[in-house]
Every structure is written in structure tokens, then in C-alpha cells.
Amino acid sequence: MLPFRLIYHDGYDLHLGAHVFPSIKYRLIRERLMREGFACEQDFQAPEPVSDEDLLLVHERGWLERLKNGTLSYEEIVQLEIPYSRRMVEAFWLAAGGTLLAGECALRDRVGFNIGGGFHHAFPGHGEGFCAIHDVAVAIRALQKRGRIERALVIDCDVHQGNGTAAIFAGDSSVFTISLHQGNNYPAVKPPSTLDLHLEDGTGDKEYLQRLRTAYEFAVEGFRPDMVFYIAGADPYQEDQLGGLSLSMPGLRERDRAVFGFALKRKIPVVVTLAGGYAEGVEDTVTIHCNTAKEAREAVAMVVS
């Protein structure tokens, strides 16, 4: 068995049909990890949908009600950029429950790995960019309220800036937010994170990894978080349809290794969410996400050996 749990639910699939966001990837990741012998049935744990009480720690009641009741305006659906359905709503509630469960698991196992989540464009009162519920923010607020953690660090390595994360935690000294993203990409308006790294188009492995390590290590050492939330987007990949960075698959694995290793050596638990990934072939996106799980296992093995 793995030294940590893989949080997964068949309901993670948003059932978007022919859409650039391949939400079928969650099931494919699970199948790949099983087929390769990396994981067995006992390594997976299914979450419950997050409670409305926990959602209200971040989101406005009206937004939640409109999502549940199917009364979003045309403008809200356009801004969300995915078709509305009951299954879509259920998937977001499950993803948030999964990230919260991953946080609880990380406190026990060093790593909590949600095969889903990372919906960093969601705001308290609206959704954007395929994101309706900010699962990471909900998990942080819920864990803080329960007294499980005080300080959290969010390291966002999706190719797109985490605008929802930045807006939600603006001015909050208990949460340090880092976004490492392509500057010339979505969203057009980028609220300031605690630390933003706006990368030039075509940035490759060497520069990316150097800037990541410098910013991340500085933040971890200076802020001393109780937990790291790693938004491990697959879309910095050089062949991603919605990205313009040039990371290779080995470079992305080194990114994962850096994030896990630096935190775990300092006994800081890490929660993983997967966020975006839009490679022309969904198999590439699945490979990148599976590699993140493999690097998590290696990092845990290093600190317990």
C-alpha cells in the first residue's frame, strides 16, 4: 500500500462533453495508477460532498443557492465557461470535500493527494475559467476553523494565475499565496497574490525551476506554514493547448520533486490538487498527473528512510 491516501470519486467527472477541459482525466488517472501497479483499491478513499457550512466560510450564500437551484444568469454561465448541469454542481461539491479530506489525511500521512480539485479561479460570489467552487480555500478555512492548522501556504503551479485564490486571501496574514504562471495568459485581470511570478512566453525548465525554488524556499522558510497546498497544474507542459510555457515532462517531475521535498524535509504536510491540463492528447495530461503522485511517494520515502 501507498504511504498516503489517493482521494477520488467517480463523481469528479463534470460531464462536460466535447470541451477543452477533459474532466474524464480523473477516472483515467485512477485507472492508469491501478494498471501500472502503483496503487491498489485500498489506496483510494472516497470523499463526501463538502458541507454548505464549510462552503460558507468562503462563498456567498446566494452563489451557492444559484448553483444548487440551477438559476445562474446567462452572464454567470458565460463567465464560468462550462455548461451547467446537476452533475457539474455535484462534482464541485465532491472536489471540495476531497481537498478537505486530503488536508486531514496530510496531517496524518505527510501527503494528502486529491485526484481532482485545484479550482483556483473561483471567487466568493461567482465562478470563472471552469471553476465554480474554490476547494483549496474552503479546505484552508475549514481546517483553520477546526484548529487543525493556523498558517497555510498555497504554491500554485498552474500555467494560469490563481486570481480567485489571490482575491479570497488578500490581506490575510495567515495564508501566503504564490502563483507561478505565464504572464501573458488568462486571466486578463490578475489580483495580486502574496507573491506573483509572471513568466515570459516560452519559459523552459531551467528558468522555471530556478524561479520556483527561489520563491518557494524563501516563502517556506520565512512564513513557516503548518501546511502547504500544492496546485499541481499539468498545463505548463510544452504541448498544452491553453498554455504558452515550455516545460518538458522531466521538468515537471523536477517541479513536483522540489515542492514535495523542501516541505516534507521540514515536516510540513503537503496537500495536492491537480488543477488544469489541456494537452492535445489527454494521455499526456494523465501521465503528468500520475508522475506527480509518483514523486509524492518518492518524497515520503526519502523522509521516512
Would you please indicate which residues are annotated as catalytic (active-site) residues? Answer: 121
CA–CA dist 28, 282 (Å, integer): 9
- Pinpoint the alpha helices (H) of the chain: 25-35, 52-55, 61-69, 74-80, 86-109, 135-145, 163-168, 205-223, 249-264, 282-304
Give long-range contacts, CB 8 A cutoff, 24+ apart: 23-28: 23/91, 24/282, 25/277, 25/282, 25/285, 25/286, 25/289, 26/115, 26/116, 26/274, 28/282, 28/283, 28/286
Which backbone phi and psi does 156 adopt, to 5 degrees?
Answer: -100, 110
> 119: which residues sit within 8 A by CB, 6+ positions away?
92, 95, 130, 131, 132, 133, 134, 135, 136, 164, 275
- Helix (H, G, I), strand (E, B), or coil: what is residue 227? strand
Which three-class secondary structure state does DSSP give residue 278? coil
* Residue 231 main-chain phi, psi, to 5 deg: -90, 100
CB 269 within 8 A of CB 304: no
| Burial class of residue 78 (count of CB atoms within 10 Å of its CB; 0-12, 13-18, 19+) | exposed
Is the distance from CB of 136 to CB of 99 less than 8 angstroms?
yes
81 dihedral zone (left: phi>0; alpha: psi -120 to 50; beta): left
Which of 279, 214, 219 lies closest to 247, judged by CA? Answer: 279
